[in-house]
Amino acid sequence: MALVVAALCAVMPAIAHPHIFIDAKLVVIFSDAGAVSQLRHIWTFDEAFSAWAVQGLDTNGDGDVSPEEPASAGRRQYQGFE
């Protein structure tokens, strides 16, 4: 019995993969003729993934990621999406 209790109380590392929660939205744009002219995909990522995704992008250290900062710095974060 003591062995069972000890086994149940043993601290084990979490064996899991990270999850990304995404709110996905599709906007359909129609032309004046009524045909589908555009499909716009809008993805909103969860706060934890968003915080990870912008790590290292603030190259000037001002606390804000601006369009002027190098886009290539973020390419390594998104290689898995390609």
Quickly tell me which residue has 């590392």 as its tokens: 13
Quickly tell me which residue has 């369009």 as its tokens: 67
Q: Binning pLDDT at 50, 70 and 90, where does residue 6 land? A: low
Name the CA dihedral angle for 61, 20, 82, 71, rounded to a multiple of 10 degrees: -10
Rounded CA separation 81/62 (Å): 28
Rounded CA separation 40/26 (Å): 6
Q: Where are the beta strands (DSSP E) in the chain?
A: 22-30, 36-45
Beta bridge partners of 45: 22
pLDDT digits (tens, 9 = 90+) for 18-55: 678 889 999 999 999 999 999 999 999 999 888 887 77
